[in-house]
Amino acid sequence: MVFMTCIFMDTLIFYISLPIVYILHDLEELLMRKRWEKEHFDEMLVKCPVFTSLVTTIKNLSQIKYTIVILEQLLFLIIVVIMAVYSDPVPMYALIWGFGIHSVLQHILAGIIFRTYFPGLVTSVLLLPYFLYVYSELLNRYSIFENIVMAVCGLSVIILNLFLMYWLMKKFGDL
């Protein structure tokens, strides 16, 4: 198991898996979000009033602006993967923690709360084995404390980046 962990964690395939997984997930969101919003937007505002401003901002993004947000995040991930290959993989591990937590909290829990499909739900469920495998590898390699720090930092970076991008897209005119 340890030998397999070292081989897996040090391969380029592992490093490029995060951007690939991200693209698959966000492609599902991009393709399904407008239809879902038409049917469930009002229900979401009633069930989650604390997120009204954020949800309204996201709803008002054109497909082009939403795609820009996705591409910016992909560029960010590619930079982190390059860092992992040539320098330090920990920032990438932190983003994997953050992305997995985001997938479970936002997409899977939203599917449960709304008792219906939520954009990103299918890939989030399909990616659970991927995340569980990677997390088990990270828990074998790093202490619980280090993994918690990576998870908090990764999720914080993802949330801050999304808020910044949504804010920027709101400030831009029509695209």
Q: Which residue has the tokens 């993802």?
A: 158
The neighbour count for residue 36, using CB atoms within 10 Å, is 19
38-72 as b/e: b if 16+ CB within 10 A: eebeeebeeeeeeeeeebeebeebeeebbebbbeb
pLDDT tens for residues 37-76? 888 888 888 888 888 888 888 888 889 999 999 999 999 9
pLDDT the model gives residue 175: 61
Stretches in the chain below the pLDDT threshold 70: 1-11, 173-175
Distance of CA 52 to the CA centre of its chain: 20
Contact 106, 162 (CB under 8 A): no
Predicted TM-score (pTM) of the model is 0.83
